[in-house]
């Protein structure tokens, strides 16, 4: 009887698959027609636009004012150059110098491009909140390496902490009569406060061009991204000062190795000083953990090295049941065991096979071709085969 | 989107190294969790999710950053776009910095120069891998020169796969990207 019912059900299901959707039983046509309905992208765009009211969510430009040269003059100069090249065909092996292109780029489009990259890295939002600035003054920051080469800091390139151990050379164009401040801050990975930054270097009242003649308010400290946290941003901001400022409230005795003292909030700092400083230059790099940091934490910072791991969401497991149906008992029980306990047992198993005084045993080319013990239960034999093939949790053994 | 929350898995101190006896006196407090606000961190670690829901589109949005080449009658350009729609890095022959050195803004030389300039800008901005929908066999010679120069400049035109955390009972065993470091790999 039940067989017949199942056959009828199967028949009905198969039939309904051949019918168009609106004729299928127990089905409702939901939503608008395909030519009218909005796509996923359109719906997401609408939601994001609704969240941002332009009267409330707008950014303020806190950068230097820019005196634009006469567009007519600029245009006529450029047209002269272009007309002299008109009609000439490109030479096949001509290599146009990227350095020259970059020099011209720094004079023309750089501030806008750098702003786009900085917004992609969320720098303005994390440092200033609702403000941004166009970095009109190009900064040339280079970390000198022991072999004589230079690692420049651009807009997000990776520099390891070992390579940034010593303060870099900073070069920018400044009037001899002008005053500048340079701040190096890390908005990620403050170890004891959630939304705070860590100041790695602060030099104030720099006359003209010369960093060395400026007052060192906070001495240089190399980046120390903890292990497992990924890449942290380290941002150089160059401020133009109107007059000599008293930074005594920010001064820290050199070398300030207490991390709590290096807590910094760029937003609050700028808010306090906004009448006398304007951000003018921007440069940033990303830094990752490196094995020289273990010694740095132990010897220089005098602390235990913190190690982190990404907090993945817990995998979904069906709630455990007294009598699971159609589930291999060993696999079912293993799923609900503590993974740390499992890896501890595997580690102990591994340590039994490893001898530090003997060379590593060569691994067999066809591990499952080796003889198996027939007397063992089948599920144990399957586990042994998985171990030999190094599947899943046995991959480290 | 997962928050970039990183959990402290335990305080580790190497018993072999000699350190001062007053360890932990001053720099003692750290939070059990660190929030790394760097929006590009998860993408660099291959943990960030790629957009879902576009699998049936003609060109699915299964990338973090993508390369787009723009050709018009007068100009050649290329830009790197994030899946959110933001243009991150761009290079075009309508920029004065590039235009003034070119004899023509739409020929193969221009396309090749754009490729080199874009590669340099990507390196400067820390974007080393970018997704490209362009098939080298089907693309025009101009665009293929552009793409080849981007690859020569050090940018990979394919992004790595997203790392999905696997269950401890599964057969997968890929390395966790937060625990892989360049120095350790080369040893």
- pLDDT (tens digit, 9 = 90+) per residue, B35-64? 899 999 999 999 999 998 888 888 899 999
Tell me the chain A residues in contact with residue B90 when contact means C-beta distances shorter than 8 Å. Answer: 113, 116
Helices (H), B100-162: 108-124, 141-152
Across the A/B interface, how many CB contacts are shorter than 8 Å? 252
Average pLDDT value over all residues in chain A: 90
Q: Is the predicted pLDDT of residue A287 greater than 50, yes or no? A: yes
The beta strands (E) that lie in chain A are given as 60-61, 131-132, 140-144, 150-153, 155-158, 169-171, 179-186, 197-207, 215-218, 232-241, 263-264, 277-287, 305-310
Helix (H, G, I), strand (E, B) or coil at A48: helix
Q: What is the mean pLDDT of residues A154-174?
A: 96
Q: Say yes or no to pLDDT of A315 above 60.
A: yes
Per-residue pLDDT band for A192 (boundaries 50, 70, 90) equals confident
- Per-residue confidence band for B186, with pLDDT thresholds at 50, 70 and 90: very low
Determine, yes or no, domain membership for A122. yes
**Average pLDDT for residues A36-53, to the nearest whole number?**
84
pLDDT at B25 over 60: no
Final residue belonging to a domain, choices A281, A300, A319: A300
Same domain, A122 and A235: yes
Contacts of B39 in chain A (CB under 8 A): 120-122
Q: What is the pTM of this model?
A: 0.86
Do A127 and A251 reside in the same domain of the chain?
yes
Distances (CA, A) of A195 to A107, A220, A266: 35, 22, 11
**Together in a domain, A270 and A337:** no
Mean pLDDT of chain B: 85
Burial (Cβ within 10 Å: 0-12, 13-18, ≥19) of residue A34? exposed
Instruction: Answer yes or no: is A305 within a domain.
Output: no
- What ipTM describes this predicted complex? 0.87
B32 contact A CB<8A? no
Lowest mean pLDDT of A121-125, B70-74, B178-182, name the range: B178-182
Q: What is the number of domains present in chain A?
A: 2
| Confidence band for A333, pLDDT divided at 50, 70 and 90 | very high
Residues of A in contact with B119 (CB under 8 A): none
**A163 and A200 co-located in one domain:** yes
> A305: alpha, beta or left, given left = phi > 0 and alpha = psi -120 to 50?
beta
Tell me, yes or no, whether A155 and A285 share the same domain.
yes
Residue B137, min C-alpha distance to chain A (Å): 23
> Which of A283, A300, A317 corresponds to the end of one domain?
A300
Same domain, A241 and A292: yes
Please give the pLDDT value at position A232.
96
- On whether residue A380 sits in a domain, the answer given is yes
Q: Is residue A249 part of a domain?
A: yes
Mean pLDDT of A372-376: 95
Residue A110, domain member (yes or no): no
Q: What is the pLDDT of residue B18?
A: 32
Q: For residue range B82-102, what is the model confidence (pLDDT) as tens digits? A: 999 999 999 999 999 999 999
Are B45 and A303 a contacting pair at CB < 8 A? Answer: no
**pLDDT band at residue A10 under the 50/70/90 scheme:** low
Does the distance separating the beta carbons of B37 and A155 come in below 8 Å? no
Q: Both A196 and A290 in a single domain?
A: yes
Which of B30, B117, B142 best probes binding to A when mutated, by most A CB atoms within 10 angstroms?
B30
pLDDT at residue B181, as a whole number: 75
Residue B21 or residue B58, greater confidence: B58
Instruction: Write the burial class of residue A24 (CB in 10 Å: 0-12 exposed, 13-18 middle, 19+ buried).
Output: middle
Cα–Cα distance list, A260 to A185, A191, A252, A264 (Å): 14, 9, 11, 9
- Residues A274 and A189 placed together within one structural domain of the fold: yes
pLDDT, residue A194, reads 85
* Contact (CB<8Å) A100/B101: yes
**Boundaries of domain holding A269:** 115-300
Cα–Cα distances in angstroms (integers) from residue B11 to residues A226, A307, B138, in the given order: 11, 6, 54
The residues facing A158 across adjacent strands are A286
pLDDT band at A314 (very low <50, low <70, confident <90, very high): confident
- Identify whether residues A122 and A267 lie together within a single domain: yes
pLDDT-wise least confident of A21-35, A99-113, A114-128, A370-384: A21-35
User: What's the rounded Cα separation, in Å, for the pair B82 and B80?
Assistant: 7
Task: Give yes or no: residues A236 and A150 share one domain.
Answer: yes
Chain B residue numbers touching A304 (CB-CB < 8 A): 11-13, 23-24
pLDDT at B149: 97
pLDDT of residue A32: 86
Euclidean distance between CA atoms B40 and B23, whole angstroms: 34
Q: Is A106 inside any structural domain?
A: no
Contact A187, A126 (CB under 8 A): yes
For position B183, what pLDDT does the model report? 63
Please check the confidence at residue A278 and state whether its pLDDT lies above 50.
yes
Q: Is residue A255 part of a domain?
A: yes
Give the pLDDT score at A4. Answer: 58
What's the pLDDT tens digit per position in A222-251? 999 999 999 999 999 999 999 999 999 999
Same domain, A183 and A294: yes
For residue B171, the chain A residues in CB contact (below 8 A) are: 391-392
CA distance A68 to A239: 21
Q: What's the mean pLDDT in B107-136?
A: 97
When pLDDT is averaged across residues B104-130 and rounded to a whole number, the result is 96
Between chains, do A192 and B90 touch, taking CB under 8 Å as contact? no
Answer yes or no: are the C-beta atoms of A180 and A241 closer than 8 Å. Answer: yes
* Subunit contact A392:B109, Cβ cutoff 8 A: no
Distance CA A385, CA A378 (A): 11
Single out the residue in A280, A300, A320 at which a domain terminates. Answer: A300
> Which of A93 and A386 is assigned the larger pLDDT?
A386
Closest by CA to A233, choosing from B33, B37, B103, is B37
Q: Please list every residue in chain B whose beta carbon sits closer than 8 Å to the beta carbon of residue A229.
A: 6, 34, 36, 41, 178
Residues A149 and A296 in one domain: yes
Low-confidence winner among A210-224, A263-277, B6-20 (lowest mean pLDDT) = B6-20
Residue A107 falls inside a structural domain? no
pLDDT for A21: 60
Q: Is the pLDDT of residue A207 over 90?
A: yes
């Amino acid at each position: 009887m039940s067989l017949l019912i199942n056959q009828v059900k199967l028949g009905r299901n198969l039939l309904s698959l051949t019918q168009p959707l609106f004729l299928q039983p127990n089905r409702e046509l939901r939503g608008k027609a395909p030519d009218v309905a909005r796509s996923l992208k359109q719906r997401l765009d609408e939601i994001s636009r609704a969240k941002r009211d332009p009267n409330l969510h707008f950014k303020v430009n806190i950068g230097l004012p820019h005196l634009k040269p006469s567009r007519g003059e600029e245009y006529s100069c450029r047209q002269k150059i272009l007309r002299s090249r008109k009609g000439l065909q490109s030479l096949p092996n001509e290599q146009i110098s990227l350095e020259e292109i970059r020099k011209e780029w720094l004079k023309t489009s750089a501030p806008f491009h750098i702003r786009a990259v900085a917004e992609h890295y969320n720098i303005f939002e994390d440092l200033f909140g609702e403000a941004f600035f166009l970095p009109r003054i190009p900064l040339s920051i280079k970390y000198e390496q022991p072999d004589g080469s230079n690692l420049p800091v651009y807009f997000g390139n990776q520099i390891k902490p070992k390579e940034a151990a010593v303060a870099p050379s900073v070069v920018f164009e400044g009037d001899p009569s002008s005053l500048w401040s340079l701040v190096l801050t890390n908005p990620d990975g403050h170890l004891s406060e959630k939304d705070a930054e860590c100041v790695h270097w602060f030099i104030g009242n720099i006359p003209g061009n010369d960093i060395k003649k400026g007052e060192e308010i906070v001495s240089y400290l190399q980046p120390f991204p903890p292990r497992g946290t990924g890449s942290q941003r380290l941002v150089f901001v160059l401020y133009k000062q109107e007059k000599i400022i008293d930074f005594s409230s920010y001064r820290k005795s050199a070398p300030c190795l207490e991390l709590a003292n290096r807590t910094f909030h760029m937003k609050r700092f700028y808010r306090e000083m906004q009448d006398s400083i304007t951000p003018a230059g921007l440069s940033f790099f990303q830094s990752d953990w490196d094995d020289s940091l273990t010694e740095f934490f132990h010897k220089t910072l005098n602390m235990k090295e913190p190690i982190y791991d990404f907090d993945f969401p817990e995998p979904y497991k069906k709630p455990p049941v007294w009598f699971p149906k159609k589930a291999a008992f060993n696999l079912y029980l293993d799923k609900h065991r503590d993974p740390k306990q499992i890896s501890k047992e595997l580690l102990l198993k591994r340590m039994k096979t490893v001898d530090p005084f003997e060379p590593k045993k060569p691994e067999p080319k066809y591990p499952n071709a080796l003889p198996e013990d027939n007397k063992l239960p089948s599920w144990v034999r399957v586990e042994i085969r998985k171990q030999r093939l190094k599947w899943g949790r046995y991959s480290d053994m | 989107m997962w928050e970039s929350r990183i959990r402290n898995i335990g305080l580790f101190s190497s018993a072999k190294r000699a350190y001062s006896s007053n360890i932990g006196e001053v720099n003692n407090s750290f939070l059990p969790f660190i929030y790394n606000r760097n929006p590009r961190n998860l993408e660099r670690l291959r943990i960030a999710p790629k957009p879902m829901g576009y699998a049936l589109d003609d060109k699915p949005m299964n990338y973090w950053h993508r390369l787009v080449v723009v050709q018009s009658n007068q100009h050649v350009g290329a830009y790197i776009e994030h899946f959110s729609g933001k243009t991150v890095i761009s290079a075009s022959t309508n920029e004065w910095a590039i235009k003034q050195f070119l004899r023509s803004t739409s020929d193969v030389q221009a396309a090749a120069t754009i490729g080199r300039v874009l590669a340099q800008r990507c390196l400067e901005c820390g974007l080393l891998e970018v997704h490209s929908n362009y098939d080298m066999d089907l693309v025009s010679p101009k665009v293929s020169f552009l793409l080849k120069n981007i690859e020569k400049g050090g940018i990979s035109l394919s992004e790595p796969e997203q790392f999905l955390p696997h269950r401890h009972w599964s057969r997968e065993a890929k390395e966790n990207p937060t625990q892989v470091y360049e120095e350790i790999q080369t040893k």
